[in-house]
Structure 1
Amino acid sequence: MLIINVKDSETIDRALRRYKRKVRDTKLMREVRTRKHFEKPSVVRRTEKLKAVYRDVRERKLDL
């Protein structure tokens, strides 16, 4: 659970912006999405390998 201390002189908009930044930095939403459904460890490994291959191919294209 994220806690944001709102100061007396701080506006709600500014506090909300700080909260959103904190959520983004802690990668909370990414974890929530991954925990929505169970993936077998073999599927997780396969997707990680595919992502690595994709990144490698994209990086090689940029080097040309």
Structure 2
Amino acid sequence: MIVVPVKEGENIERALKKFKRKFERTGIVKELRRRQQFDKPSVVRRFKKERAVYVQKLKEQED
């Protein structure tokens, strides 16, 4: 359960922003979307490999 302590006099918008940030970090929404459909293991491996190549190119460009 996510708990966001709200100080007295603190803006509700700021508290909502904190809640949204904490909720996003938990990864619940990502997990739910991922589980909505089944991906074959070979497809998952292919996506992971493509992502690794992409990240490696970004790091090479950074250097």
TM-score between the two structures when normalised by the length of structure 1:
0.69
Determine the C-alpha separation between the residues in 2 that align with 1:45 and 1:23: 28
C-alpha RMSD over aligned residues: 2.2
Aligned to 1:45: 45
Q: How many positions carry a matched residue from both structures?
A: 62
Amino acid at match of 1:39: D
Determine the C-alpha separation between the residues in 1 that align with 2:58 and 2:4: 42
Q: Compared with structure 1, are the counterparts of its residues 3 and 58 closer, same or farther at alpha carbon in structure 2 (3 Å cutoff)?
A: closer
Aligned to 2:35: 35
1:20, CA displacement in angstroms? 1.3
Aligned to 1:56: 56
Deviations 1:9-47 (A, max 9, x none): 576545433431221111111111111111011111110
Gaps of 5+ in 1: none
Gaps of 5+ in 2: none
TM-score between the two structures when normalised by the length of structure 2:
0.70
Return structure 1 stretches of 4+ with deviation > 2 angstroms. Answer: 2-7, 9-19
Amino acid at match of 1:28: I
